[in-house]
Amino acid sequence: MHNRGVVLSLVAAISTAFAIGLAGQGAAPERQLVTRAADALGGRDRVMALKTLQIVGYGELAYFNGGGNITGDPDAPQKWQKVLEYTRTIDLEHWRTRVQQRLKMDFVFASTAGQLGLNRTNETMDGDVAYNIGGGFLAAPQSGTPQPQPAGPAAARQRRVELLAHPITIVRAALDASSKLSNLRKQGNLQLVDVTVRQGDTLTLAVNGTSNLPAWVSYVGPNANLGDVTYRTAFAGYVPEKGIQLPTGFATTIDFRNVVQSKLYVDRNIVDAPIADLSAPASVRAAQPPQGPPGGRLCAFASFIEEVQGAARRRADEVRPDGWPWRERRGDRSGDARPAGSRCRHADHRAVPAAFSAPPAGGTLRRAHRLSAS
């Protein structure tokens, strides 16, 4: 009987110590900050119970991330593109998202489709698989039903971090047991914490010190023209919708001249309504994904035209038939850049063929010209 009492006391002591350890773990300052943000949004349980979210609105994009203005002067007026009929659909249960929009140049542009805003973009992410439906912003209108095409792993990574640039998704990710919280710090009236998600991406969440609502999210992403760029998406105009606080304004700034790269005005936040199936078709999963950089896609809208920003089908070093010193971001020397038609071999891997000694059948030899010095 005495031994049984000792065992029971020992079990109780171990259980108490374990509970205290868990409580201490849950009370870490980083975790406390994220919990306060979840409570401000509507409560942890409400945030984690959300299944779907649809964001409907319109907005503007900085043309070429601010690099397509009339001159390179930092004070040159910004050129904009109108974002029409914007909808982001988020499947929170299965970690899927789709962005659909229509884009129109807000200045004279040598493209009927771009000038009139005729074409639509449709970009989807299903977990680690990214795919597009349709040809993109400047593509010629397609006849028939557009077919899904794989977008590649770089696009999947970019769309994943873009999806996390929202108060609900970043707080849910921060509450996930597989995420790591670190580097708690203050910046004025904001408290900042770094969130490293399961896939290894690190984002910074800023929380307002007064309201405890998420203020902004920042992360580093690649850009075909600028290299690595820091994106910061700020949230404004929180309003309640079915027991959850949601922003009605998004402004994304990049650290290139502090350009306001995109602005999104939300007309409606639709919570837990039925949505279409966003899962990647078998044809997409089975297809060989395209290689190369993601094309410097624009973050808040996740679908700017690859033809304008640096197409995924073209490498960032494919501006000319051959490269020039230090043209590639890798730092390769002259001659290492490849034209669009080259794959594994150098573009000039063969010797120059000998001149014809006789005219071809049915033709004549043309008069020789001097080689150009350029």
Residue 20 placed within a domain: no
Residue 101 placed within a domain: yes
Residue 286 placed within a domain: yes
Residue 359 near residue 365, CB atoms below 8 Å: yes
Residue 254 placed within a domain: yes
Statement: the pTM of the whole predicted model exceeds 0.75: no
Q: Kindly report, residue by residue over 322-344, the tens digit of the pLDDT.
A: 333 333 333 333 334 333 443 34
Using the predicted structure, report yes or no on whether residue 238 has a pLDDT greater than 90: yes
Segment 171-180 mean pLDDT: 97
Interhelix angle 29-41/167-175, nearest 10 degrees: 140
Using the predicted structure, report yes or no on whether residue 366 has a pLDDT greater than 50: no
Segment 172-177 mean pLDDT: 97
Residue 124 placed within a domain: yes
Residue 60 placed within a domain: yes
Using the predicted structure, report yes or no on whether residue 23 has a pLDDT greater than 60: no
Mean of pLDDT over the chain: 78
What pLDDT is recorded for position 109?
A: 83
Structurally, the chain folds into a number of domains equal to 1
Higher confidence at residue 240 or residue 372? Answer: 240
Domain holding 216: CATH number? 2.50.20.10
Q: Residue 366: which residues within 8 A CB-CB, separation 6 or more? A: none
Residue 175 placed within a domain: yes
> What domain range is 214 assigned to?
32-309
Using the predicted structure, report yes or no on whether residue 189 has a pLDDT greater than 50: yes
Residue 82 placed within a domain: yes
What pLDDT is recorded for position 68?
A: 87
